[in-house]
Amino acid sequence: MKLAAPNITERERELGAIINAYNEVTERLKSSHDRLLRETRRLHDEIAEKNRELARKQRLAALGEMAAGVAHEIRNPLAGIQLYASLLMRDLEGDAKSLGLAERIDAGVRTLDGIVGDVLAFAGGAEPRRLMVELAPLLSECLDCVEPARRSRNATIHVDEATTDALLEVDGAQVKRALQNLLFNALDAAGEEGCVWVFATEANDGDALAIHIADNGAGVADELKDRIFNPFFTTKDSGTGLGLAITHRIAEAHGGGIRVIDRVGGGAEMVLTLPIASKQGSN
């Protein structure tokens, strides 16, 4: 026996349509609210990150100003010591034992002068003189500079040929220093008979180049990934801890950046981002 369908009045139809419309509006409002909430959280996180970056830059600027003053004060008497050491070595040419001691003094002064130079390079913050620079010859010069370190460790450096095709808009001297710092660090991390890889990928929708320098060393602990770019921080037994800080400053001066990630297969991977000339044009 079939039940007869209930008769629905026109008023009930209107009421049903109103309820459906209300439900649709409610769902749209809920969806909009969820989107706004997600966007608010994203903007909050972005503002917090920008504030952290600003605070870091202010601290580094103050530290750089102080370090520059100290470095200049040290460099002046250091130049005098080096001059007197060179005069002493000249006068002691016939006395091998005394000459050896004078040479040690000279070597120590040169080491200190190198440290002072690093401090001034970090503190200087010189505006990069941007020109169109081919990565291939620049990288080749860097590899020549680190060759003694590579040979002493019997390490291997693999360079992706596609990496050398890039044309950048950068200060060549500054970027060369940044790349050398990263290569030296990678060789130190890789150790005896270790491996280092150099390759590049597009970044910022093709407006920049990300240069990757990876090693098969022990990697960087998560709690150190933010600290390794701080000046004077180092996990090595020797060194000033300024290499990565200088590299970070050079990257920022070019509108780029640097970060460390875990390498697939073990080790660390430094990613240096720089502007591509073909997209930006030349100055």
Residues 234 and 253 in one domain: yes
Residues 185 and 61 in one domain: no
Q: Give long-range contacts, CB 8 A cutoff, 24+ apart: 204-208.
A: 204/273, 206/276, 206/279, 207/275, 207/276, 207/279, 207/280, 208/256, 208/273, 208/274, 208/275, 208/276, 208/279
Cβ neighbours, 10 Å, residue 145: 15
* CA angle (124 as vertex; 168, 281 as ends), nearest 5: 20
Which CATH number do you get for residue 172?
3.30.565.10
Which CATH number do you get for residue 93?
1.10.287
What is the pLDDT, as a whole number, of residue 194? Answer: 93
Domain's final residue, options 71, 102, 124: 124
Residue 187 and residue 153 in contact, taking contact as beta carbons nearer than 8 Å: yes
Number of domains in the chain: 2
Residues 116 and 202 in one domain: no
What is the pLDDT, as a whole number, of residue 242? Answer: 80
Residues 197 and 269 in one domain: yes
What is the pLDDT, as a whole number, of residue 238? Answer: 66
Residues 163 and 273 in one domain: yes
Domain's final residue, options 85, 104, 124: 124
Is 161 part of a structural domain of the chain?
A: yes
Residues 103 and 166 in one domain: no
Residues 120 and 242 in one domain: no
What is the pLDDT, as a whole number, of residue 280? Answer: 40
Q: Which residue stretches of the chain have pLDDT < 50?
A: 279-283
Q: Alpha-carbon distance 16 to 22, whole Å?
A: 10
What is the pLDDT, as a whole number, of residue 281? Answer: 43
Please enumerate in sequence order all residues whose Cβ is within 8 A of that of 120, keeping only pairs 6 or more positions apart, or say none. 68, 71, 72, 75
Q: Which residues of 21-53 are buried (b: 16+ CB within 10 A; e: fewer)?
A: eeeeeeeeeeeeeeeeeeeeeeeeeeeeeeeee
Residues 108 and 136 in one domain: no
Is 1 part of a structural domain of the chain?
A: no
Range of the domain at 220: 131-280
Domain's final residue, options 124, 140, 169: 124
Residues 156 and 184 in one domain: yes
Residue 92 and residue 102 in contact, taking contact as beta carbons nearer than 8 Å: yes
What is the 3 state secondary structure string of the chain?
CCCCCCCCCHHHHHHHHHHHHHHHHHHHHHHHHHHHHHHHHHHHHHHHHHHHHHHHHHHHHHHHHHHHHHHHHHHHHHHHHHHHHHHHHHHCCCCHHHHHHHHHHHHHHHHHHHHHHHHHHHHHCCCCCCEEEEHHHHHHHHHHHHHHHHHHHCCEEEECHHHHHCEEEECHHHHHHHHHHHHHHHHHHHCCCCEEEEEEEEEHHHCEEEEEEEECCCCCCHHHCCHHHCCCCCCCCCCCCCHHHHHHHHHHHCCCEEEEEECCCCCEEEEEEEEEHHHHCCC
Is 269 part of a structural domain of the chain?
A: yes
